[in-house]
Structure 1
Amino acid sequence: MRIKIFIAAFMFILLISCATDYKRGPEGGPNDKVRPTIESASIQNGSLNMDKNSSVEIKFSEFIDVNSAKNSVVISPRSASKKAKIYWYDKSCEIKFRDIGEDQTVVITVNPSLKDTQGNMLSGSYSLSFSTGSSLDRKFISGRLNGAISRNNIETVNYAKVKINLYAAGNDTIDVTKDEPEYSSGLSEVLGFELKNIGSGRYRLLAFNDINNDQKPQPGLEMIGFSHDLIDLSERDSIDLKITLGLTDTESPFIKNTSVAGEDILKIELSEDIKKSEKYIDSCFVNGQDEMFVEYSSQADRKAVYAKIKPFKIDDLIKVKLSYVEDYFGNLIKEGLRVKTHTVSDTVSAQSFKVGGKFPGKISSDQVLTFATNSFVNDSLNFKLLELKDSLLIDLNKNISIEPYKVSINLSDNGVRSGSYEFRIEKADSTAFAAKITIEDPLGSGSVSGTISGVSVENCILICKNIKGTSKSVNISSIDYKIDLDPGKYILAMFADRDSNGVFSVDHRSYISEKAQFYADTVNIRKNWETSDINFEFK
């Protein structure tokens, strides 16, 4: 009896093992970067007189990741989507329809968010159309995503995450967070999109960075862009659009958290970045007593402000009240959210001074030396350079920016020449930190120039993003512009700051967006050279 049970159990485990291997598919090797493609479909694109209960199979070249497949296939229009069911297999999917309408054009779209089991995505959207009647709907929308601007920074967007939704524009207001689109598509690898075989009618188009992969735009969290005007495909057959993604923000900032950051330092963390201001904190109370304080902020972390009050004790009750701070979109903190109470549960002991992160081993003599520390207040420190060749000691005491946990020193303002040095930080007549550093010849600068047309130039903002990561935004106030930049390769974009708030603004509720243009090519800035004719033409 025991032998029979053992054999039965062994056969069961063997069957499960075989089934598991079959479903998983081949590993493909650690360096499998081959993108999946559409190998075939069971019907021809544009098929006519299809049965109302048709079934369509699409085969792929690779084993498909089930998790990415969930929202990767879209059936349009909405009336056909409600009568379709999608079945996924290892290297194919089957769409079964039930009782589609008469003379109904159906579009099946596979978005590039679909991945194979190695994480490789499709290079672009794939669409397949058919009709239950004798003709297909022939309306067509094409376009391109210019890029994405978050506030006044150029953002990199994963093409496979961007969805293009087309909503029927009836008499009712469209709520893009709730309403289902009539048609949907994705982007190609070169940021182009197409919506084919659309029915005649009036529409609104919205593009969004679908971070959650749920097919639903979430303004305020996900970047969005849209067609400014109603798209009327009643008389015309096609239209071409250019879309720029931006952020919608109508939410007021609030105090998210408070914590003790030092023996006498209270850190106030807000829900989002806030604008630079002369005063962030209105008052501080400790155990009901109004206390004097010094406030600090950091350019690197715009979500945090600090209050240096007095040494805290366990169970101290600290109440802080903020001034009327605002975020970059002009949303003021609400009256009832300006106050926060914090009970001290643990004090922070004093720490020996340290430089955090990686200290740079070399830097050009016309750059700014920036490094992090573990010290909140760095104003008691002295900074020096010891020239190794001649043992000459240089005091660095000009144009020093001291922020919480951060120090920046402009080397050129301190007369530093190229050479080999030892950088020293002195505190109370002792060396708290020392490191070798090479000061290289000046990096120099180049310039970019051009003209602006099609918009009022009083409030234009030019964004220059170095492909190595740094970014610079400049207000432009004339038709002809010229600005200096460090040498390097840049992506350039410009927007007309209609609201004069310094950020690129979009409002999905009223379909109003500030105009933006991206320069088509990467711009190479060379030392002592003007790169001209970088023109921006708004339409």
Structure 2
Amino acid sequence: MKSSKLCMVFSRNRIIILTMLLFTWGCASMQPPGGGPEDKEAPEVIWTIPTNDSVRVSRKVDIFVAFSEKMNHETVENAVYLSPHPAGEIKFSWKKNVMKIELEDSLESNKTFVVTLGTDGKDIHANALQQAYSFAFSTGDSIDRGSINGRVIAENTRGISVWSYRLAGQANEDSLVYIKRADYITQVGAGGKFKLSYLSPGKYRVYAIADLDADYLYTPSSDYIGLPFKDITVEPAKLEATGSDFMIFQEDTAKFALQTVVPVDRSLVVVGFSKSLMTELYFETGSRFDGLKNHFRMTDSASGTDIPIRDVYLNPVKLNEIKILTVPRNIQRRHVLSVRNLFSQSGEEIVSGDMSFEGGDDSSNIKIDMEMFSPQTKDGMILANDGFGFRFSNGVHRASFEKYFQMRDSLGNQVNGLFTWAHSAQVEFQPAVLLQSRMAYTIDIIADSVMDWSGKVFGDTVIKYFVNSFKTDSLGFVSGIVKDDDSVKAGTYYITCRNLNRGMRDHTVRIDKTGVFNLNYLVPGRYSVVAFKDEDGNGIYSYGRVSPIIFSERFTSYADTVVIRPNWETSNILLRFKD
């Protein structure tokens, strides 16, 4: 049975006396019940000393927290955050359901302190607190009332905390998260929601942290982090700051660099980098396409003669790898590959780099592979508006692939469409019209007529793919509106319906400006709807960088789970980007 909350009507002095008696004498031991139904009820905090909003509290105060049931001491102690963190050691002791917190040193004067009990705290039945619980007291005459709230978006938010640093123009502001415990800490609760309360007016930098080594410092090699899209100012006239949402990632601190140059044969060279390259720049489908050939030069190391480069393209399955096709080289001679002004997916640049190499097989017999990588189908089922993506292990003659590609329905009707090449080793075929409902389709590729750059064919047979379209009225639709409080920064918007059923595909649409969006032909199920503003134009969400700080791109999410039903449009989805 939960402890009675009637004790809250006692005067403060009587509560203190009651607590002292608990710690001095103790009571009969409270043991978990020996039988009956399993306890699955979340524990609660029923009273605290000092009480919430207490002022003029002694700087040598002891802190007490009473719970509704017997707690797992270690989990609770590890989930206690006192902000700002006091100097000296913090000691814990227990009597029954009451935890005592003793401070080695005196608290600062005229300061608001916040005690937060995080959601990692559990009772003896392993039931966790549903939400982080905070209470505040002051050693001065008043309580600070500022707050910052938001959400952390992750598959599992258990154990993720939110750290806030008060900024005061320090030279090392970007490095504080590495070297200093945060001024304010809380843990996320149900649905990834959090609230940092009782903040004094000022400017703050807030992070979401999975502090896996539990040292209250950010360690890139082990911890996960979420960066803000800007610093937050708590103003006296507007004490509540909203919209601080985070996506968690593990930061890659390796330097973007040229790593390997491997000659495969007389014409093909494979070049490896430490990080993936920016696809929006180096895919021909990107809005800022910049041909890779512009960034490479190959020379004979002895004579300095240029080796003409015929084609350069990303390895479609290893985006940190580039393949370079040249005119036939003398494999007995040493060559130099030079790279200039190349960008990684995260925006880092190789200004210049050179590497020498020699060798290669005089007659390469490497097998040429091909795969259909999209759409991601379950049991070969496709949607009416699907396109079909193909990847090749070597660059191909585009005209030969397009000529010997055929798609037909089960009645023998040919499906016409448009080929869009990301580069010589990746293409998408988009049918010109919507596919018919409940129709079987066959894709034929005459392999002995499709050649790579060296003249090799893909095989001596016809490669076939079989797919079937969904019944159109068995699918659903989503529509809504994107609004943006920031009308200054440019960028396109990507809206994604994430299928919450494992193994099922997501659906994404891009719009160039705020307004209406539509996602059509969705398989029935449960979805979350998220969106981000692509301010750097690389086509993917940019998480940012800790130091020197690069803020993340802004994103937003629809608060509720969206249920897609057959032949039904779920409308009025509002996605608002807050400033």
The verdict on a shared fold, with TM-score over 0.5 as the criterion, is yes
- The 2-side partners of 1:88 and 1:299 are apart by 59
Aligned AA (1:339)? D
Q: 2:65 touches 2:98 (CA, 8 Å); kept in 1? A: yes
Q: Which residue of 2 aligns with 1:362?
A: 381
C-alpha distance after superposition, 1:394-445 (max 9, x if no partner): 4878426475765532234698885334443331163253343224456899
After superposition, where does 1:360-509 map in structure 2 within 5 Å?
361-370=380-389, 377=396, 382-385=404-407, 392=412, 394=414, 398-399=418-419, 401=421, 406-412=426-432, 419-428=439-448, 430-431=460-461, 433-440=463-470, 448=479, 450=481, 452=483, 454-456=485-487, 459-468=490-499, 469-476=506-513, 481-488=515-522, 491-493=529-531, 495=533, 497=535
**Deviation at residue 245 of structure 1 after TM alignment:** 3.2
**Deviation at residue 197 of structure 1 after TM alignment:** 5.0
Q: Which residue of 1 aligns with 2:354?
A: 339
Aligned AA (1:225)? P
Q: 1:207 touches 1:243 (CA, 8 Å); kept in 2? A: no
Q: Secondary structure at the match of 2:225?
A: coil
The answer to whether residue 285 in structure 2 is matched with residue 279 in structure 1 is no
Aligned AA (2:325)? K
**Deviation at residue 98 of structure 1 after TM alignment:** 1.8
Q: Which residue of 2 aligns with 1:112?
A: 119
From 161, 164, 169, the counterpart of 2:162: 164
Q: Which residue of 2 aligns with 1:224?
A: 227
Equivalent pairs counted in the alignment come to: 485
Evaluate the alpha carbon distance shift between residue 35 and residue 186 of structure 1 in structure 2; reply closer, same or farther with a 3 A threshold: farther
**Deviation at residue 490 of structure 1 after TM alignment:** 6.0
**Deviation at residue 283 of structure 1 after TM alignment:** 1.3
- The 2-side partners of 1:378 and 1:115 are apart by 62
**Deviation at residue 296 of structure 1 after TM alignment:** 0.9
TM-score, structure 2 length as denominator?
0.63
- The 2-side partners of 1:128 and 1:302 are apart by 49
Q: 1:145 touches 1:242 (CA, 8 Å); kept in 2? A: yes
- The 2-side partners of 1:246 and 1:420 are apart by 40
**Deviation at residue 183 of structure 1 after TM alignment:** 2.0
**Deviation at residue 361 of structure 1 after TM alignment:** 1.3
Q: Secondary structure at the match of 1:266?
A: strand
- The 2-side partners of 1:511 and 1:409 are apart by 37
- The 2-side partners of 1:265 and 1:88 are apart by 68
Q: 1:112 touches 1:123 (CA, 8 Å); kept in 2? A: yes
From 300, 316, 321, the counterpart of 2:338: 321
- The 2-side partners of 1:117 and 1:383 are apart by 64
C-alpha distance after superposition, 1:212-237 (max 9, x if no partner): 465335799732117645435xx679
After superposition, where does 1:125-274 map in structure 2 within 5 Å?
125-127=132-134, 138-145=143-150, 156=154, 158-160=156-158, 162-170=160-168, 172-173=170-171, 174-175=173-174, 176-177=176-177, 178-196=179-197, 202-210=202-210, 212=212, 214-217=215-218, 222-225=225-228, 228-231=231-234, 238-245=239-246, 254-255=256-257, 257-258=259-260, 260=262, 263=265, 264-274=268-278
Q: Which residue of 2 aligns with 1:6?
A: none
Q: Secondary structure at the match of 1:278?
A: coil
For structure 2, the 5+ residue unaligned runs are 1-31, 33-37, 282-288, 450-459, 500-505
**Deviation at residue 464 of structure 1 after TM alignment:** 0.7
Q: Percent identity?
A: 14
TM-score, structure 1 length as denominator?
0.67
Q: Which residue of 1 aligns with 2:90?
A: 84
Evaluate the alpha carbon distance shift between residue 372 and residue 295 of structure 1 in structure 2; reply closer, same or farther with a 3 A threshold: closer
Q: 1:252 touches 1:332 (CA, 8 Å); kept in 2? A: no
Q: Secondary structure at the match of 1:190?
A: helix
Q: Which residue of 1 aligns with 2:106?
A: 100
Q: 2:476 touches 2:520 (CA, 8 Å); kept in 1? A: yes
Cα RMSD of the aligned pairs, angstroms, is 5.4
Q: Which residue of 2 aligns with 1:3?
A: none
- The 2-side partners of 1:290 and 1:533 are apart by 57
C-alpha distance after superposition, 1:121-150 (max 9, x if no partner): 65332335567x6x78622343432566xx
Evaluate the alpha carbon distance shift between residue 272 and residue 301 of structure 1 in structure 2; reply closer, same or farther with a 3 A threshold: same
- The 2-side partners of 1:330 and 1:474 are apart by 23
- The 2-side partners of 1:58 and 1:317 are apart by 76
For structure 1, the 5+ residue unaligned runs are 1-25, 27-31, 149-155
Q: 1:163 touches 1:184 (CA, 8 Å); kept in 2? A: yes
Q: Secondary structure at the match of 1:101?
A: coil
Q: 1:73 touches 1:111 (CA, 8 Å); kept in 2? A: yes
Aligned AA (1:204)? Y
From 352, 359, 367, the counterpart of 1:351: 367
Evaluate the alpha carbon distance shift between residue 137 and residue 512 of structure 1 in structure 2; reply closer, same or farther with a 3 A threshold: farther
